């Protein structure tokens, strides 16, 4: 990933927070048939002695051939998982520089995390059961009446489980890039934050990042 120093985000806790907030990662691998990419919901497990950058766990359909890229190391072995955070178009109309010199162009702001590692294929029933229960609890927990795996008939759950394969990725490398107008003069940063906030919707989250990373929320 092209990574200018002023956009680099190296704090592991910030990278992990983005993954947890945007858990649908794009799983990319290179196998015998070339490149493969699939969106997969991941669970991030905290760093420990065996995986100091954290561990990603997920499951994919057994019918999805991508998991075979990782059997016994696979043809490529390594996988890249991309987690996309807030992103938005930025119009030059928000820049003070536009009014001063006119020397401005549009751009796109975004926050993104890329994680790399060598997936381990898991077909153990107990592991898969824990995985689907944990993934369900993560996303059902905040609902007024959470759905649980146990709500479905046991035989049905067993049949569904036979149709999936688990993946566990101890993260070997993780990169964060927050391109949120840090490279613009303060007046431009302020104009972007105010313009995004006024637009509302998806722009509101980016407005907060521009303010935080641009030093606009201090004092």
Output b/e per residue, 39-75; b: 16+ Cβ within 10 A. ebebbbbebeeebebbbbbbbbeeeeebbbbbeeebe
- Kindly give the parts of the chain with pLDDT less than 50: 219
Q: Using DSSP bridges, classify how beta strands 43-45 and 55-61 pair: parallel, antiparallel or unpaired.
A: antiparallel
Predicted local distance difference test score (pLDDT) of residue 218: 58
| Residues paired with 113 in a beta bridge | 83, 176
Predicted local distance difference test score (pLDDT) of residue 143: 95
Q: How far is CA 172 from CA 4, 17, 50, 117, 199, in A?
A: 21, 18, 11, 5, 39
What is the separation, in whole angstroms, between the first and last Cα of the chain? 34
137-87-111-184 Cα dihedral, nearest 10 degrees: -150
Predicted local distance difference test score (pLDDT) of residue 76: 59
Return contacts of 193-201, CB within 8 angstroms, 24+ apart.
194/94, 195/91, 195/93, 195/94, 196/88, 196/90, 196/94
CATH 3.20.20.70 fits 5-91+107-184, yes or no: no
Residue 169, SS3 per DSSP = strand
List CB contacts of 45: < 8 A, sequence separation 6 or more: 51, 54, 55, 56, 57
Predicted local distance difference test score (pLDDT) of residue 95: 97
Whether the CB-CB separation of 123 and 165 falls below 8 Å is answered with yes
Predicted local distance difference test score (pLDDT) of residue 217: 74
* Cα–Cα–Cα angle for 29, 30, 31, rounded to 5 degrees: 115
The answer, as to whether pTM is greater than 0.85, is: yes
Q: Is the dihedral of CA 103, 108, 110, 116 positive or negative?
A: negative
């Amino acid at each position: 990933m092209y990574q200018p120093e002023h956009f680099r985000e190296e704090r592991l806790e910030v990278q992990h927070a983005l993954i947890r907030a945007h858990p649908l990662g794009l799983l990319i691998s290179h196998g015998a048939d070339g490149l493969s990419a699939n969106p997969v919901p991941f669970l991030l497990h905290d760093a420990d002695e065996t995986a100091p950058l954290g561990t990603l766990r997920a499951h994919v359909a057994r019918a999805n051939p991508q998991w075979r890229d990782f059997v016994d190391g696979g043809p490529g072995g390594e996988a890249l998982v991309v987690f996309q955070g807030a992103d938005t178009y930025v119009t030059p109309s928000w820049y003070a520089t536009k009014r001063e010199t006119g020397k401005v162009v549009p751009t796109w702001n975004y926050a993104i995390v890329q994680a790399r590692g060598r997936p381990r294929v898991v077909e153990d029933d107990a592991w898969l059961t824990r995985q689907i229960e944990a993934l369900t609890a993560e996303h059902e927990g905040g609902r007024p009446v959470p759905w649980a795996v146990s709500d479905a008939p046991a035989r049905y759950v067993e049949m569904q489980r036979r149709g999936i394969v688990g993946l566990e990725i101890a993260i070997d490398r993780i990169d964060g890039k927050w391109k949120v107008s840090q490279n613009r003069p303060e007046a431009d940063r302020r104009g972007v934050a105010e313009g995004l906030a006024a637009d509302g919707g998806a722009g509101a989250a980016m407005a907060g990042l521009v303010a935080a990373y641009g030093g606009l929320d201090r004092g």
